[in-house]
A and B are shown apart, each in its own frame.
Chain A
């Protein structure tokens, strides 16, 4: 029965991803994943496209392998082996969820400059908008800077100062001086991106993250049952087998989420 549940779940995920694809195909412009996902914890503003998500992908692959080994230990009735491998798998699942939490936090709170209504705004990626639109050329950016509020300009100078700028006491300078101190080459001022991008990203990775979470819970339940010797009394470890199927499915879905959001 597990297989038929997984098949129906595959259709659910498939429908989500296909509707994402459909919307994406209907737009003249879409966000470039290498621009969106370029951060690594502890690396500050460095531009590292795809680095963090490859860590997440490998965590999930490895946890899938430990699950296979756990299922195999179950076939042999090796209780200690099952416990050991289940623990590793749970650890992998928790590591993946932590990575995702960091990534979401970074996307939502990490504000980037966008040009909207002739002014510069600082926004993060949320369901209501995101800063991943087309790059704005320098003359338009200069014009927008002239119309932007003082505190935004101070922010921008702090984030993207021209080389050799003295940052002390810049709050007192007037807007024109501030605008001249911003390094537009590095500020990458963009238009607002396609609104649907945020919703699809958080919706689909969130749904997948929820699957990972429930997989971790299922594995913990299996761990406790193994610990108490329930499967030894039952004479077989088929439940571990089914939990394993679910866990591999979560890995399988990630392969496609990874493809649709991060690679293409």
Chain B
């Protein structure tokens, strides 16, 4: 494969080191199994949350912890899809950075807007009596 050292297209930004067929198949198989296992665990957690909700005294902290775990697993899945299936991991470093660095904006984006939503809720609960009423109903109504 020596002749492939020069890129066949200017859009070919990753070095063309060829993994052997064998190694490629192993890698794809491993990633597929990993993604499936994570998904199954996520579903398991989803059902756990469901049973906690159904129970007599749902613990909100526990539910929140499980939800956090699912979020982390989703990020792990996203990492594997992007780095192995989309083989961003094989690109040259600068190319990776031009894609990943702008995505850092999401950290601020998510934090700021969820914070904003939450503060809107708190403000309405303290100043809008009609909205507040709904909150009280929730406490006495038994929820789900």
Binding site for B on A (CB under 8 A): 1-4, 7, 10-11, 14-15, 18-19, 21-29, 32-35, 49-50, 54, 57-58, 61-62, 64-65, 67-69, 72, 75, 134-137, 235-236, 238, 244-245, 248-249, 251-252, 255-256, 258-259, 262-264
Contact between A26 and B121, CB atoms less than 8 A apart: yes
Q: Check if B92 is an interface residue, CB within 8 A of chain A.
A: no
A252 CA / B84 CA spacing, docked (Å): 12
Binding site for A on B (CB under 8 A): 8-9, 11-12, 18, 24, 28, 32, 35-36, 39, 42-43, 45-47, 49-50, 53, 67, 70-71, 74, 77-78, 81-82, 85-86, 88, 95, 98-99, 102-103, 105-106, 109-110, 113-114, 116-118, 120-121, 124-125, 131, 134-135, 137-138, 141-144
Contact between B70 and A259, CB atoms less than 8 A apart: yes
Number of A-B contacts (CB under 8 A): 141
Residues of A within 8 A of B138 (CB): 28-29, 134
Contact between B131 and A21, CB atoms less than 8 A apart: no
Interchain Cβ contacts under 8 Å between A and B, 24 examples: A1-B11, A7-B102, A7-B103, A19-B113, A21-B114, A22-B113, A22-B114, A25-B114, A25-B120, A26-B121, A26-B124, A27-B121, A28-B131, A34-B47, A54-B43, A64-B81, A135-B142, A137-B141, A238-B8, A248-B81, A251-B81, A251-B85, A255-B81, A263-B74
A-B complex: 5 closest residue pairs judged by Cβ atoms: A25-B117, A22-B117, A34-B50, A26-B117, A26-B120
Contact between A22 and B116, CB atoms less than 8 A apart: yes
Residues of A within 8 A of B11 (CB): 1-2, 238
A22 CA / B95 CA spacing, docked (Å): 32
Closest to B106 in A: A14
Contact between A18 and B110, CB atoms less than 8 A apart: yes
Give the shortest distance, in Å, between A228 (CB) and chain B (any CB). Answer: 20
Contact of B117 among A23, A29, A34, A251 (CB under 8 A): A23
Interface centre among A7, A26, A57 (most CB of B within 10 A): A26
Give the shortest distance, in Å, between A1 (CB) and chain B (any CB). Answer: 7
Residues A263 and B99 in contact in the complex (CB < 8 Å), given A28-B131, A251-B81: no
Residues of B within 8 A of A72 (CB): 24, 28
Residues of B within 8 A of A252 (CB): 78, 81-82, 86
